[in-house]
């Protein structure tokens, strides 16, 4: 039977295709020319991933232009820089400040997502069910508030994983199954199909697992996890006594 490690590869791939937010030079009518210039300078450092210098630039921007229309987004990007430089507690406070202020819906949605994803990363490091439950709470908030935001699909995928790791297996299956309907066009679809199929197999829902993994094989035959999916299908066939299907 394929190992649990192989299912974790699906998560690693999902995280790879959902990178940290790229800072954009936004067209903000309520922003001044001086603020836009300072914002662009911070964006350049942020997108080059020079995190320490970008942190300084975002701080400088917020000190000089605290009420500018670009300030909420700048604060989110500051939080990302804090997260990348090891200042997770500070990043948490930064993201919460943006959410509490609620002045820019786009910035709030991004802050919810980064807070949720960061909490999930912290849970991975701790590897405790309680930490994953906290991550699931944050991810559920991001999913509930995300709407059509581009982070909604990734948040739903990670919500399923957080629920699974916290021992809430039925809820994890529900999250992944909901993903199939809500985010059918997402590039994360193959990863979710694979994770769902393996999870169904692990809880003994063998017929559902076979259907899910068969769909995964049919729609994504060249996926990096295709061979592992085939091993799972063969194992399920053996369990059901279908020796021909196991070949």
pLDDT digits (tens, 9 = 90+) for 122-154: 999 999 999 999 999 999 999 988 655 678 899
Cα–Cα distance, 156 to 138 (Å, whole number): 11
Residues in CB range of 61: below 8 A, 6 or more apart = 35, 38, 39, 42, 70, 71, 74
Q: Residue 30 has what pLDDT?
A: 77
Asked if the model's pLDDT at residue 8 lies above 80, the reply is: no
Tokens at 244, concatenated? 């021909």
Cα–Cα distance, 140 to 132 (Å, whole number): 12
Asked if the model's pLDDT at residue 246 lies above 60, the reply is: no
Asked if the model's pLDDT at residue 113 lies above 50, the reply is: yes
Cα–Cα distance, 201 to 6 (Å, whole number): 14
Q: Residue 242 has what pLDDT?
A: 65
Distance between terminal CA atoms of the chain?
14
Cα–Cα distance, 133 to 131 (Å, whole number): 5
Which one is predicted more confidently, 149 or 196?
196
The stretch 169-190 carries a mean pLDDT of 95
DSSP the chain: ---HHHHHHHHHHHHHTSPSPPP-----TT--HHHHHHHHHHHHHHHTT-HHHHHHHHHHHHHH-TTSTTHHHHHHHHHHHHHHTT-HHHHHHHHHHHHHH---HHHHHHHHHHHHHHHHHHHHHHT-HHHHHHHHHHHHHHHHHHTT-TTHHHHHHHHHHHHHHTT-HHHHHHHHHHHHHHTTT-TTHHHHHHHHHHHHHHTT-HHHHHHHHHHHHHH-TTSTTHHHHHHHHHHHHHHHT-TTTT-
Q: Residue 19 has what pLDDT?
A: 45
Q: Residue 165 has what pLDDT?
A: 94
Asked if the model's pLDDT at residue 18 lies above 70, the reply is: no
Percent of the chain clearing pLDDT 90 (strictly above): 74
- Are the CB atoms for 9 and 232 separated by under 8 Å? no
- Are the CB atoms for 91 and 125 separated by under 8 Å? no
* Residue 23 confidence class, pLDDT cut points 50, 70, 90: low
Which one is predicted more confidently, 149 or 193?
193
Query: Which of 180, 88, 182 minimizes the C-alpha distance to 135?
Result: 88
Burial class (CB in 10 A: 0-12, 13-18, 19+), 241: exposed
Site of tokens 């192989």: 6
Asked if the model's pLDDT at residue 14 lies above 80, the reply is: no
Which one is predicted more confidently, 181 or 147?
181
The stretch 15-43 carries a mean pLDDT of 71
- Domain 33-103: top CATH class: mainly alpha
Which one is predicted more confidently, 246 or 240?
240
């Amino acid at each position: 039977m394929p190992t649990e490690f192989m299912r974790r590869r699906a998560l690693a791939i999902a995280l790879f295709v959902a990178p940290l937010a790229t800072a954009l030079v936004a067209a903000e009518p309520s922003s001044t020319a001086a603020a836009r210039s300072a914002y662009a300078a911070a964006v350049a450092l942020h997108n080059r991933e020079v995190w320490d210098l970008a942190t300084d630039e975002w701080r400088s921007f917020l000190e000089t232009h605290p009420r500018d229309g670009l300030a909420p987004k700048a604060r989110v990007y500051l939080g990302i820089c804090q997260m990348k430089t090891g200042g997770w507690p500070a990043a948490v406070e930064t993201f919460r400040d943006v959410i509490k202020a609620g002045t820019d819906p786009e910035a709030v949605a991004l802050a919810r997502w980064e807070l949720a994803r960061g909490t999930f990363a912290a849970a991975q490091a701790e590897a405790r069910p309680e930490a994953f439950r906290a991550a699931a709470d944050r991810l559920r908030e991001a999913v509930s508030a995300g709407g059509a935001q581009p982070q909604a699909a990734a948040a739903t995928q990670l919500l399923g994983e957080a629920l699974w790791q916290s021992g809430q297996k039925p809820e994890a299956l529900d999250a992944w199954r909901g993903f199939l309907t809500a985010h059918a066009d997402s590039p994360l679809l193959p990863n979710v199909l694979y994770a769902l199929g393996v999870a169904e197999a692990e809880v003994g829902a063998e017929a559902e697992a076979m259907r899910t993994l068969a769909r995964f094989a049919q729609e994504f035959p060249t996926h990096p996890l295709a061979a592992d999916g085939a091993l799972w299908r063969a194992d399920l066939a053996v369990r059901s006594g279908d020796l021909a299907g196991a070949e």
